Structure 1
Amino acid sequence: MTREEKSIAIEDLTAQLAGSNIVYVADISGLNAETTSNLRRACFKAGIKLEVVKNTMLSKAMEAAPADYGDLATILKGNSSILLSDTANAPAKIIKEFRKKSDKPLLKGAFINSEIYIGDNLLDSLASLKSKEEVIGEIIGLLQSPAQRVVSALLNQFKDEEVA
């Protein structure tokens, strides 16, 4: 790869990082071709972009990106892949699902809405994060519940008055 090609690749990677608030870094080395294809397919279905990257290029892209990736650059050793998503818990759920059949992919770290998570031990916590849609749904449910009780009580009150 020439210096110019590397520069273009870093710019592309920087643009991808700038366009996503959710970035997972994982090690998928050692997966056979079939398992890697299945992982890519599952990511595609879940709206996750999976890309194998060179650590030095990812490190330079993180430095150039507008967000502060903090200590995330320290985990860039060995093989690295990035998973870009719009849903905070989606990559963790995919990784967790694949870990039922093998010991890979390993979670190296994640950047989720300016928060840094480092280590495979956080996989369960990240998988249990609620998506924006789930949180909004819960809030709407909570808001509707008291209103429904008030309406129900009022209707019962009117029925009681009609009977009397």
Structure 2
Amino acid sequence: MTRQDKAQLISDLTEKLKETDHFYIADTSGLTVAQINKFREMCFNKGVEYKLVKNTLIKKALENVDGDYSSLDEVLKGTSGIMFVNETANAPAKIIKEFKKADSNDRPKFKAASIDSDLFIGEDQLGALASLKSKQELIGDIVTLLQSPAKNVLTLLQSGEHKLAGIVKTLSEREN
């Protein structure tokens, strides 16, 4: 690969990192070609872009992005693939866990992730990332919580409208 090709790749990777809020780094070494193809297919089906990129090129691209990504230097060793996702931040974590479970393999190894500029480093973070709720799920939960008290009040009023009418009538008669 020529210097010009590397510079172009770093530029493309920098733009991709700037336009996505979430990216994951995983190690797929040790997987067969068939397994890697299956993993890539899973990524594609879930709207996740997966690229195998040299660690030095990832480091150089991260230097051009706002934020401190220096703590990722310790995980950028060996084989690294980078996964980009725009919408659902937990999709790559779920894909990695699902692939490991389905294939009875310890690969791909989760190295690190950046979710809205927060860094998650190490395999032990994978479970927490997979259980993160998406923005849409959180909004749905909030709407449900907000609707719940109103529904309860309406249900009580409707079920006891005869009782309520009787109580109001009794109170109005007492005052006379």
Report the 3-state secondary structure (helix = DSSP H, G, I; strand = E; otherwise coil) of the residue aligned with 2:156. helix
Q: Does 1:56 align with 2:56?
A: yes
2:42 maps to what in 1?
42
Give the TM-score, by structure 1 length: 0.93
1:6 maps to what in 2?
6
- 1:36 is aligned with what amino acid? I
Deviation at 1:103, TM superposition (A): 1.2
Deviation at 1:66, TM superposition (A): 2.4
Deviation at 1:130, TM superposition (A): 1.1
Encode CA deviations 1:8-30: one digit per residue, 9 max, x unaligned.
Answer: 10000001111111110000011
C-alpha distance in 2 between matches for 1:48 and 1:33? 19
1:83 maps to what in 2?
83
For the 8 Å contact 1:109–1:116, the answer to whether it is kept is: yes
Report the 3-state secondary structure (helix = DSSP H, G, I; strand = E; otherwise coil) of the residue aligned with 1:143. helix
Deviation at 1:126, TM superposition (A): 1.1
Encode CA deviations 1:122-154: one digit per residue, 9 max, x unaligned.
Answer: 111111111111111111110110010111122
The runs of 5 or more residues in structure 1 that have no matched partner are none
Instruction: Choose which of 127, 136, 158 in structure 1 pairs with 2:161.
Output: 158
C-alpha distance in 1 between matches for 2:71 and 2:158? 58
For the 8 Å contact 1:18–1:67, the answer to whether it is kept is: no
CA RMSD between the two structures: 1.5
Instruction: Choose which of 139, 148, 152 in structure 2 pairs with 1:136.
Output: 139
Q: Percent identity?
A: 46
More deviation in 125-134 or 66-75? 66-75
Report the 3-state secondary structure (helix = DSSP H, G, I; strand = E; otherwise coil) of the residue aligned with 1:99. helix
C-alpha distance in 2 between matches for 1:69 and 1:115? 10
Q: How does 1:10-21 map to 2 (within 5 A)?
A: 10-21=10-21
Encode CA deviations 1:17-62: one digit per residue, 9 max, x unaligned.
Answer: 1111111000001111111111111111111000000111100000
Give the TM-score, by structure 2 length: 0.87
For the 8 Å contact 1:62–1:73, the answer to whether it is kept is: no
The runs of 5 or more residues in structure 2 that have no matched partner are 168-176
Deviation at 1:163, TM superposition (A): 7.7
C-alpha distance in 2 between matches for 1:66 and 1:115? 12
